[in-house]
Amino acid sequence: MKALCNARVFDGDRMLDRHTVFVDCGRVVSVVPEPSGVDPIADAVDLNGLIIAPGFIDTQVNGGADVLFNDEPSSEGIARIVAAHRRHGTTGLLPTLISDDRAVMERALNAVAEARRAAMPGLLGIHLEGPYLNPKRKGIHREEKIRTPEPDAVTLLSRLGDEATTLVTVAPERVREGFIAELSERGVIVAAGHTAGTYADIRRAQSEGLRGFTHLFNAMTPMTSREPGVVGAALAGENTWCGLIVDGHHVHPATARVAVSAKMRGRIMLVTDAVHAAGSTHRELEFLGQTIYRANGRVTSATGTLAGSDLTMDRAVRNVVDLLALPLEEALRMASLYPAAFLGIDAEYGRIRPGYRADFVALDDDLRVVGTWIDGVADSDAPAAPPARIGVGSGPG
Distance CA 66, CA 187 (A): 32
Please check whether residue 335 lies inside any domain of the structure. yes
Count of domains for the chain: 2
- Looking at the structure, tell me whether residues 183 and 241 fall in a common domain: yes
In a 3-state reduction of DSSP, which class is residue 260? helix
pLDDT at 396 over 50: no
- Looking at the structure, tell me whether residues 259 and 232 fall in a common domain: yes
Average pLDDT over residues 83-100: 98
Tell me the CATH number at 48.
Answer: 2.30.40.10
- Looking at the structure, tell me whether residues 318 and 333 fall in a common domain: yes
Please check whether residue 121 lies inside any domain of the structure. yes
Contact 63, 32 (CB under 8 A): no
Tell me the CATH number at 151.
Answer: 3.20.20.140
Please check whether residue 243 lies inside any domain of the structure. yes
The residue range of the domain holding 127 is 56-343
pTM, entire model? 0.94
Contact 58, 273 (CB under 8 A): no
Contact 105, 379 (CB under 8 A): no
- Looking at the structure, tell me whether residues 205 and 112 fall in a common domain: yes
| 252-255 own/partner pairs: CB under 8 Å, 24+ apart | 253/323, 253/324, 255/217
The H-or-E segment that residue 380 falls in is: none
Half-sphere exposure of 167 (CA within 13 A, CB side): 30
Catalytic residue among 273, 310, 314, 346: 273
DSSP-derived pairing of the beta strands 377-378 and 369-374: antiparallel
Please check whether residue 124 lies inside any domain of the structure. yes
- Looking at the structure, tell me whether residues 366 and 238 fall in a common domain: no
pLDDT tens digits, one per residue of 313-326: 999 999 999 999 99
pLDDT tens digits, one per residue of 279-320: 888 999 999 889 999 998 899 999 999 999 999 999 999 999
- Looking at the structure, tell me whether residues 134 and 9 fall in a common domain: no
- Looking at the structure, tell me whether residues 252 and 375 fall in a common domain: no
Please check whether residue 386 lies inside any domain of the structure. no
Please check whether residue 395 lies inside any domain of the structure. no
Please check whether residue 200 lies inside any domain of the structure. yes
- Looking at the structure, tell me whether residues 75 and 36 fall in a common domain: no
Instruction: Please say if 273 is a catalytic residue.
Output: yes
Distance CA 129, CA 62 (A): 9
